[in-house]
Structure 1
Amino acid sequence: MKRTILLMILGLSAGLTHAETDPATAARAAAGQLEAASVSLEDAGSARDRVTALTDTVKAYEAGLSALREGLRRAAIREAQIGRELRAQEDEITRLLGVLQSMGSGPPPVMLLHPSGPTGTARSGMILADIAPALEARTAGLRADLEEVAILRDLQQGAADKLQQGMTGVQTARTELSKAIADRTDLPQRFLEDPVKTALLIASTETLEGFASGLTDIQDPNIAPAVPSDITSRKGDLPLPVEARVLRKANEADAAGIRRPGIVLATRPNALVVAPTAATIRYVGPLLNYDNVMILEPQAGMMFVLAGMKTAYGGNGQVIPEGSPIGLMGGEEAEMGAILSQSSDGTGNTRPETLYIEVRRDNTPVDPAEWFRTE
């Protein structure tokens, strides 16, 4: 029983939903994630490519924490479900306990005798033989439910300790990653920014779309050729740059009735954002009211616009490999008490941060769902 509830506590593993894998496989994957992340954080200091090692570490921590939060939510839902079932069957349970108590209160000879004589005794014995298995099964089910509730409550503290360790570990990994990126000098430089032209474009820009279009106009004619790549074959199969869910689809109206050609992703606070493919950084920095914006050029004539990061990594003109960290989302992680409170009422943790993604081809926006795996 304890193993069963442990599987529930551990919940989802990286890339594997409860429906896609058996509980044992999901448990092994989820249980190992935070432990593996802790080990990789220790090893990252001596890694040849610290940025890559720390990026993998942060992603492992984020996946493990997400799995643990989901496991706590499922456990809370299960505990509440059992509680409702027990309350609904309170009268039946009371009668069951009364029957069991009366059956065990008298001496065996008295229980087996019937006032009408041997025939009545035989009949009552047959009835007792019929109902005894049902009573036994019902009692066993009640005992199992009560044991499950006790185990759920007992494991909550253990899960909370693991969650606290993971939250501390991921924060350390993010700090180390920022330092490693600041020290990085191995990225090729495709062009050097013209700060005057960029500043004038920012000053005259009123929309994100207008800024992306303007980048093409101020491009230096002597710029080096684009990275020789063609991602057309990966259309529809590119990973999202951050662990998230789609909040709004392309051209779907928001609360103010505004429609945008990109998609809006809901992420957790401080989530790591990575490059979905190798690309040139055409622009990175604050813009309009989006906090930090990054515009990537994976190939000639195509741009990925990512807006809404609190921290952005890299510089204009750099060529970055696929999976490179390009920023962190903003926000503050919920306190442990709030996480456990949300888990206990079955709601889980919210995803309050949003990242906007726009895909432009030949300076025309196209639906990002055509390029990214959004389901």
Structure 2
Amino acid sequence: MRALLLVLTLLAAPAFAQAPADRAAAAAAQIAGAAEALEDLRDGADRLAQLGRIVQSYEAGLAAQREAARDLALRRDVLAAEMAREEERLSAVLGALHQVVRTPGPLLMIHPQGPEGAARAAQALGGVVPQLQAEADGLRALMIELDILATEQERAESVLRDGLEGVRRARIALSATLEGRGAPDAPGDADLLTRLRDDAGTLESFARLLARQARPTGDAADFDDARGRLTLPLPGEIVAPFGTRAPDGAIQQGVVVAAEGVTQVVAPWTATLRFTGPFLDYGRIAVLEPAPGWLLILGGLDEVQRSPGEVVLQGEPVGRITQTRARVAGFALEPDPESSPNPKRLLYVELRRGGVPVDPASWFEVGP
């Protein structure tokens, strides 16, 4: 029975070990794609947008590769411990058999239950040999899988090293491109917007005040047609949907996106950057105007890479989230990302039309 259980365990083990290997391969492919895109990068109007996506792709691939490498190491430790236990148990069995072999033949025939008991004992002893063979085959399979895992782990670590160098180069190229564009002249209403921010008690009131100062850019009809086709500014998952009730009882008027490893935030649609700066518990915010009557607010930023008054093209960088935090805009992520093995970065996304909040999720391509 023990040998059968061991065989069943070994049959199931490759599927268990294959999952992190598959994830590592997918992450490596994503990193390789980012590296190829970086090599093919050329000057042009969409250079910044390309760099924004390349950095995001590198960061997402590296996060997935780190997780796969952790899982490979964990699986390797589990198998090593299992093999050590089996080796110890087999050593005890072989030691007992060795003692039997050294016992004189006539003594082996003596059994408390007489000849029939001796015969049954001999039959039981005969069944030990096939079981030992199965156990030995199981140990051999464990050793093979351990070797495979060691190879996969080395490959994952090599991909991580190359990916880290690649994302470093991509960030340098992005920074150089941003610096080469120069900062635009400060908009004439910059001081007014700062005063409006200081006087507003809530993000809603600030957004309504901004809507009155709108400087139309783009076509509202085009933006309406983009519903359901935009890419999230931060590739991740929506962990707090529109209408979520915050701990203080307030109804959330946007969504919270959580992403692992990715720091780069990009514009989901071409828009004028109306305002950037700290705001209450939203961290630094960036207020984009994608079309007349529309405002897109991104909160939780640690670094803003663009200046008010700039027209930010779709896919171009807006800012970065360099810190992991437990909450943003009143929403708390459980468990606390600071104590989680996979810390996440949180981005608050709010969309308003005519000052009225609408569910941003309907504008983005999000998974089920």
The TM-score normalised by the length of structure 1 is 0.69
Q: Quick check: 1:262–1:367 contact (8 Å CA) kept in 2?
A: yes
Partner in structure 2 of residue 287 of structure 1: 278
Q: Which deviates the most, 124-133 or 279-288?
A: 124-133
Q: 1:327 aligns with which of 296, 303, 319?
A: 319
- The SS at the match of 1:283 is strand
How much does 1:357 deviate?
0.9
Q: 1:238 and 2:230 equivalent? A: yes
CA root-mean-square deviation: 4.4
Displacement after TM superposition at 1:170 (Å): 1.5
Any conservation in 1 of the 2:49–2:316 contact (CA below 8 Å)? yes
Alignment check: 8 A CA contact 1:193 1:317 kept: no
Aligned to 1:348: 341
- CA gap 1:330/1:93 in 2 versus in 1, 3 angstroms: closer
Match for 1:203 among 173, 198, 201? 198
**Is this contact kept in 2: 1:54–1:177, CA < 8 A?**
yes
Distance of aligned partners of 1:36 and 1:279 in 2 relative to their CA distance in 1, 3 Å threshold: closer
Structure 1 pair 156–314 and aligned structure 2 pair: CA distance change class (3 A): same
Counterpart for residue 96 of structure 1: 90
Counterpart for residue 337 of structure 1: none
Over 3 Å counting, the alpha-carbon distance change for 1:232 and 1:42 in structure 2 is closer
Shift of 1:266: 3.0
Check whether the contact 2:285–2:298 (CA below 8 A) recurs between aligned residues. Answer: yes
Q: Which residue of 1 aligns with 2:173?
A: 176
Deviation at 1:163, TM superposition (A): 2.5
- 3-state secondary structure, aligned to 1:229: helix
Partners of 1:140 and 1:256 in 2: how far apart? 61
1:141 equivalent among 123, 138, 156: 138
Q: Give the TM-score normalised by structure 2.
A: 0.70
What code does the residue aligned with 1:34 have?
I
In 1, distance between residues paired with 2:284 and 2:53? 23
- The AA in structure 1 aligned to 2:26 is A
Q: Distance in 2 between matches of 1:268 and 1:84?
A: 30
Q: Is the 8 A contact 1:248 1:254 kept in 2?
A: no
Structure 2, gaps ≥5 residues long: 1-9, 111-115, 325-338
Consecutive unaligned residues in structure 1, runs of 5 or more: 11-22, 333-345
User: How far did 1:35 drift?
Assistant: 3.5
Q: How many residues align?
A: 334
Q: Which moved more, 1:254-263 or 1:67-76?
A: 254-263
**Partner residue of 1:364?**
356
Conserved? CA contact 1:73–1:347, under 8 Å = no
Is contact 2:24–2:69 with CA below 8 Å preserved after alignment? no
Q: Secondary structure at the match of 2:63?
A: helix
CA deviations on 1:101-137 (whole Å, 9 max, x unpaired) are 5667998xx99xx849xx9999888766755444322
Alpha-carbon shift at residue 273 of structure 1 (Å): 0.9
- Using a 3 Å threshold, how does the CA distance of structure 1 residues 314 and 67 change in structure 2: closer, same or farther? same
Q: Using the alignment, how far apart are the partners of 1:347 and 1:315 within structure 2?
A: 34
Q: Letter of the 1:285 partner, please give it.
A: T
Partner in structure 2 of residue 71 of structure 1: 68
Give, as a single letter, the amino acid of the residue that structure 1 aligns with 2:201.
Answer: E
Amino acid at match of 2:294: M
**Contact map agreement 1:281 1:315 (CA 8 A) in 2:** no
Contact 1:5 1:151 in 2 (8 A): no
Select 2:208's aligned residue among 213, 226, 234. 213
Amino acid at match of 1:287: P
**SS at 1:65's partner residue?**
helix
Distance 2:192 2:170 in 1: 37
Percent identity of paired positions between Structure 1 and Structure 2: 30
